[in-house]
């Protein structure tokens, strides 16, 4: 496929190939991440006889395994191609979701989450890198932010539709959430097969011509580490993303059911509450351009992280309805933050750097912190100190963001933008004269997200 050869649709600025990439990315992200078991996995494992210690122990192992898997999978993506990594990830995810069906035991769930870690690590950096590089090859990269946000929003909308059905389906067939999750993952495999091949190894964005074998992997790893070491701006953006990812993951996955049960919200209502949260997150994910341009993208991520922290702290003070409202506010802040943070990191990656490997490095940092957080969550809950956990999480987030802002305002870290490798950076790390979000005019007075 030659970059930019497709005819552009009138009024959209997208080539036919770019539209195909975006639509298939929507399908892949929706189906790959459609985990029907998410609202009930805690109760499902409890019913299978697992204790809180075992459940959260598995979660900690999951995050550690994710970190370990991210090291080779990011390198593999840059070597064999991001498209091929998406194919492999979908195959592994399909098998992973069938593990609890085969064995609903501690071992079965441990294997399930280890395989989930492998499948997600294969796609965590590769999916974003494929979309970014594919649109850039078509000279349509100004559509990346909206495409990333809309893909996330559509996936969330699918969850809103599907998750309320989990309870009735389980009444018919108890393993239904896991069987349906496997079927969805198989659908994502079909989308990955249909994705157009980009220049490089394996039909992806790989770099087979740069060498092969262990030496090539080591060169890519060394290049990624040198890139982070030589760019304090990129390193800071990765650390900034830790607050968003850790808070959202721990709250929406590990603490969601314990928080609701602690406030007397019956298990039968959990699917509806998660659906409401998902609507809030989907709307925000699809419209990151709603954020005011008076604040830089980096500033917005910090403000939204503080909103996440404040929502957690507020849950210790209110009743059931207040908690549901705060969970929806939490979800909306997460929806706004994710696409903005993802674009910031992608823009900061140098044009000649191994992009998928660098995105895997970011994911490793996120999951490593989550692994520690999962251990802490289990200890706090075992001691009956849920409120203390929420307050301490909010305080830790505020301290981290305060340190990052001091580094920025003190001049210790210079804002830069290395993604394109051309054009000098304008204010707030934005390239001079760059276009704003889709639908906005080019203007230096506006800071695009």
pLDDT digits (tens, 9 = 90+) for 187-213: 999 999 999 887 544 444 454 444 444
Is the pLDDT at 65 greater than 50, yes or no?
Answer: yes
Rounded alpha-carbon distances, angstroms, from residue 418 to 70, 257, 384: 23, 41, 47
pLDDT band at 400 (very low <50, low <70, confident <90, very high): confident
More confident residue, 259 or 181: 181
- What is the maximum alpha-carbon separation in the chain? 62
Q: Evaluate whether 362 touches 241 at the Cβ level (below 8 Å).
A: yes
Three-state secondary-structure class, residue 8? strand
Indicate if the pLDDT at residue 277 is higher than 80. Answer: yes
- The CA distance from 114 to 185, in Å, is 16
434 Cβ contact partners less than 8 Å away, ≥ 6 residues apart? 423, 426, 442, 448
Per-residue pLDDT of 124-137, as tens digits, reads 778 888 888 888 88
Q: What is the DSSP letter of 209?
A: G
Least confident window among 83-87, 148-152, 311-315, 424-428: 424-428
User: Class assignment of domain 18-429?
Assistant: mainly alpha
Q: What is the pTM of this model?
A: 0.61
* pLDDT confidence bin for 78, thresholds 50/70/90: low
Contact criterion met (CB below 8 Å) for 332 and 414: no
Q: Are 189 and 96 in contact (CB under 8 A)?
A: no
Mean pLDDT throughout 170-189?
Answer: 92
In Å, how far from its chain's centre is CA 172?
A: 32
N-term to C-term CA, the chain: 30
Mean pLDDT of all residues in 58-83: 76
Dist CA 124 CA 360 (whole Å): 7
Map residue 49 onto helix, strand or coil: coil
Cα 255 to Cα 248: distance, rounded to the nearest angstrom: 10
Q: Which is more confident, 218 or 227?
A: 227
Averaged pLDDT, 44-50: 88
User: In whole numbers, what is the pLDDT of the chain averaged over residues?
Assistant: 77
Angle, CA 33 vertex, CA 28 and CA 36 arms, to 5°:
130
Q: How far is CA 442 from CA 290, 344, 348, 431, in A?
A: 17, 19, 20, 12
Q: Does pLDDT of 259 surpass 80?
A: yes
pLDDT of residue 71: 67
Report the C-alpha gap between 447 and 437 in whole angstroms.
Answer: 9
Query: Mind giving me the DSSP string for 246-301?
Result: HHHHIIIIISHHHHHHHTT--GGGHHHHHHHHHHHHHHHHH-GGGS-TTS-HHHHH
**pLDDT at 356 (0 to 100):** 67
Question: 3-class SS at 50?
Answer: coil
CA 246 to chain centre: 11
Q: Residue 185: is its pLDDT beyond 90?
A: yes
Residue 412: the pLDDT is: 58
């Amino acid at each position: 496929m030659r970059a930019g050869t497709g005819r552009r649709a009138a009024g959209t600025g997208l080539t036919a190939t770019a539209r195909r990439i975006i639509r298939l990315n929507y399908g892949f992200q929706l189906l790959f991440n459609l985990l029907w078991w998410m609202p009930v996995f805690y109760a499902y494992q409890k019913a299978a006889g697992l204790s809180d210690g075992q459940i959260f122990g598995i979660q900690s192992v999951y995050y550690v395994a994710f970190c370990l898997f991210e090291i080779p999978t990011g390198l593999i993506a840059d070597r064999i191609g991001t498209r091929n990594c998406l194919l492999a990830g979908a195959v592994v995810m399909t098998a992973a979701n069938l593990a609890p069906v085969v064995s609903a035991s501690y071992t079965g769930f441990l294997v399930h989450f280890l395989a989930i870690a492998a499948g997600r690590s294969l796609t965590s950096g590769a999916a974003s890198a494929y979309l970014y590089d594919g649109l850039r090859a078509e000279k349509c990269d100004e559509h990346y932010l909206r495409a990333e946000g809309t893909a996330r929003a559509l996936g969330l909308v699918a969850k809103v539709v599907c998750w309320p059905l989990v309870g009735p389906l389980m009444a018919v067939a108890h393993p239904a959430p896991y069987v349906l999750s496997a079927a969805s993952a198989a659908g994502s495999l079909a989308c990955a097969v249909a994705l157009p091949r980009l220049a490089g190894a394996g039909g992806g964005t790989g770099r087979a011509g740069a060498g092969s074998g262990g030496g090539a992997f080591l060169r890519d790893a060394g290049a990624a580490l040198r890139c982070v070491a030589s760019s304090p701006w990129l390193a800071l953006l990765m650390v900034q993303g830790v607050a968003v990812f850790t808070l959202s993951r721990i709250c929406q996955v590990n603490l969601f059911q314990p928080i609701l049960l602690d406030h007397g919200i019956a298990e039968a209502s959990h699917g509806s509450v998660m659906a409401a949260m998902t609507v809030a997150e989907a709307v925000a994910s699809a419209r990151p351009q709603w954020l005011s341009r008076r604040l830089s993208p980096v500033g917005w991520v910090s403000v939204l992280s503080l909103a996440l922290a404040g929502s957690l702290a507020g849950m210790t003070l209110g009743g059931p309805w207040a908690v549901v409202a705060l969970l929806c506010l939490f979800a909306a802040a997460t929806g706004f933050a994710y696409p903005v943070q993802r674009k910031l990191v992608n823009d900061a990656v140098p044009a000649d750097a191994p992009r998928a490997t660098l995105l895997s490095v970011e994911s490793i940092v996120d999951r490593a912190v989550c692994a520690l957080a999962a251990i802490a969550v289990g200890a706090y809950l075992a001691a009956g100190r849920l409120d203390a956990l929420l307050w301490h999480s909010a305080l830790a987030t505020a301290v981290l963001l305060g340190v990052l802002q001091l580094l920025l305002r003190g001049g210790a870290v210079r804002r830069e933008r290395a993604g394109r490798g051309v054009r000098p950076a304008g204010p707030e790390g934005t390239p001079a004269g760059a276009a704003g979000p889709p639908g906005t005019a080019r203007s230096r007075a506006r800071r695009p997200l």
